[in-house]
């Protein structure tokens, strides 16, 4: 293996290992020795790539932000309407949180009391949801008199709740839980002409 390629793989292994240890033990308690040994590298190699635990946490957050970007970015799930895209993205987020420890640790680091998050994923998610709700309103997808900021807040609060509760019990991240939330919310949210076309279970195969 070329040296540069090996360095990239080591870095990725360390980020994944750090995410696992942060997730299980929290940022403060996480031991760098455990992180390097789980990644199969020496402590020296860890310090070659990351000057401190804080720098390693920044790298986990940054990798998690990349995953969030694939869910919310232009290459995210395609959907026939903006509201459907929002519904689909919440399902995608829940699915990735179940499967991807880097994403999960990235979100958890946003709430760490001891750390000033450089990339607050919950804030990024909130900004994206707000933009989607605004776009849905401009496209006539929302009922009249619906408070847009209230819609974004409800969606973000519920998804952050699923994320936090899902750490102890994965049923909170199931398709069923997310769908039931949308079944309750969509009828007061979506304009009459759009409501019939919306799928609370998500429009993408899962």
Of 7, 165, 191, 201, the one binding its own copies (CB under 8 A) is 165
Write down the least CB distance from residue 144 to its own copies, Å.
14
Write down the least CB distance from residue 203 to its own copies, Å.
20
Give the count of residues interacting with its own copies (CB under 8 A): 42
Q: Is position 33 an interface residue for its own copies (rule: CB under 8 A)?
A: no
Tokens of 99: 């499967």
| Interface stretch with its own copies, choices 33-41, 52-60, 77-85, 156-164 (CB under 8 A) | 156-164
Of 34, 65, 160, 195, the one binding its own copies (CB under 8 A) is 160
Q: Is position 177 an interface residue for its own copies (rule: CB under 8 A)?
A: yes
Of 60, 83, 136, 151, the one binding its own copies (CB under 8 A) is 151
Tokens of 112: 């760490």
Residue whose CB is less far from its own copies, 4 or 145? 145
Write down the least CB distance from residue 51 to its own copies, Å.
20
Tokens of 23: 């997730």
Residue whose CB is less far from its own copies, 35 or 151? 151
Whether 21 contacts 31, CB under 8 Å: yes
Q: Which residues bind its own copies (CB under 8 A)?
A: 23-29, 108, 111-114, 120, 122, 146-147, 149-151, 153-154, 156-162, 164-165, 167-168, 172, 177, 180-181, 183-185, 187-189
């Amino acid at each position: 293996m070329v040296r540069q390629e090996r360095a990239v793989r080591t870095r990725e292994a360390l980020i994944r290992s750090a995410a696992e240890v942060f997730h299980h033990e929290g940022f403060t308690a996480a031991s760098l020795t455990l992180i390097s040994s789980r990644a199969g590298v020496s402590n020296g190699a860890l310090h070659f790539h990351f000057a401190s635990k804080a720098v390693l946490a920044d790298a986990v957050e940054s990798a998690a932000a990349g995953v969030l970007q694939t869910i919310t970015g232009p290459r995210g799930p395609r959907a026939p309407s903006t509201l459907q895209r929002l519904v689909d993205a919440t399902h995608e987020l829940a699915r990735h949180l179940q499967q991807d420890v880097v994403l999960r640790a990235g979100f958890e680091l946003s709430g760490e009391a001891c750390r000033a998050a450089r990339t607050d994923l919950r804030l990024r998610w909130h900004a994206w949801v707000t933009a989607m709700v605004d776009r849905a309103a401009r496209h006539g997808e929302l009922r009249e008199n619906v408070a847009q900021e209230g819609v974004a807040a409800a969606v973000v609060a519920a998804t952050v709740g699923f994320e936090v509760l899902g750490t102890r019990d994965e049923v909170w991240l199931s398709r069923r839980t997310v769908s039931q939330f949308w079944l309750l919310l969509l009828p007061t949210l979506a304009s009459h002409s759009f409501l019939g076309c919306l799928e609370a279970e998500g429009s993408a195969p899962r």
